[in-house]
Structure 1
Amino acid sequence: MDICVTSGAKGGTGKTTFAEILAYVWRAVFGLSAGVVRPLDGGSSFEFRVVDFPAFQLTDRPHLKALLRCGGVIYVVDEDYETLHAVEVLHAALRSKALGVVLNKVVGSPGREFLRMYGRLGRVYVAHFDERMAVHKSVGVPPYRTRSVATLEMARAAMDLKKHLFRLGR
């Protein structure tokens, strides 16, 4: 089964970081065969493929076809209107395949307006900004090995999303 992680046309939202944490939590906690793959890669032997989408436009047919084949979609987003618009357009094309929305890099408390707007797309999980998480790629440490509040919040979201996915019977 493919679980896709995307933010539509917006880059730099933390999609790859969340995808790696999601696959790690599902492997370590639930014992599932889960791994992160790119959308246009060939087949893999994972029971659950966490498909990490790059930023893409709706005119990019190969990526759109791959996204439409997904069993569920998780949006990883920022608190800005550009990301909100990109995800709303994509959500309309997908016709409610959303499992949830990870509101990433939140400083302080999230804005009510963004919680309300993203809440229309799916259940919202908040991951606060953390400097340790922000530099994990530059020092070569996997995100699930980083001791950070953001890692913990993303892991909690991964746990809840798995429970939600199996509650739906997918």
Structure 2
Amino acid sequence: MDTAPPRDFAPLTYRDAVEADVPALVPLIESAYRGDTSRTGWTTEADILDGQRTDPESVRAVITTPGSRLLIAERDGEVIACCQLEHRGDAAYFGMFAVRPGLQGAGLGRQIIAEAERSARELWGVQEMHMTVISVRDELIAWYERRGYRRTGKLSPFPYGDERFGIPQRDDLAFELLVKDLPLS
């Protein structure tokens, strides 16, 4: 879905989330992944997972944990996307990536992930970005591969039975580690 030409919009601005952002961030993240609203975008997990994607406590933890940040993308002062960055030694972890479903497919994801990589490299001096993606999400994995991420084949089990991560609709879910080198400029 990243073939759509860029639309003429106001530029994005970035900032770190604060606890007061939690009430806006939880529905943004939910809308990008779960339920009927998520189906208007292409990142939906609605066919493989029911239930919640996150909750206020989880979002607050990303914001307040040392070595972790939740980067917000805004347009005209409105929160339209976010992503988690966590410092893990020589690497940063990228997760909780959400773009408002109605704005997906317009190149925002490319811009935001590029800013996240730049920011992690500048802030922590990391040389790699890591992320985990549900292994059956072929279209999403292909999108990340076009951004320079590579599949490692390293799988970790999906937390079946822990509804904080959703209610699986199939029994073959696992997380695959994707990695991208972040050379220092």
TM above 0.5, one fold?
no
Q: Would you tell me which structure has more helix in proportion to its own residues?
A: 1
Q: Would you tell me which structure has more strand in proportion to its own residues?
A: 2
**TM-score with structure 2 setting the length:** 0.34
**TM-score with structure 1 setting the length:** 0.36
Larger Rg: 2
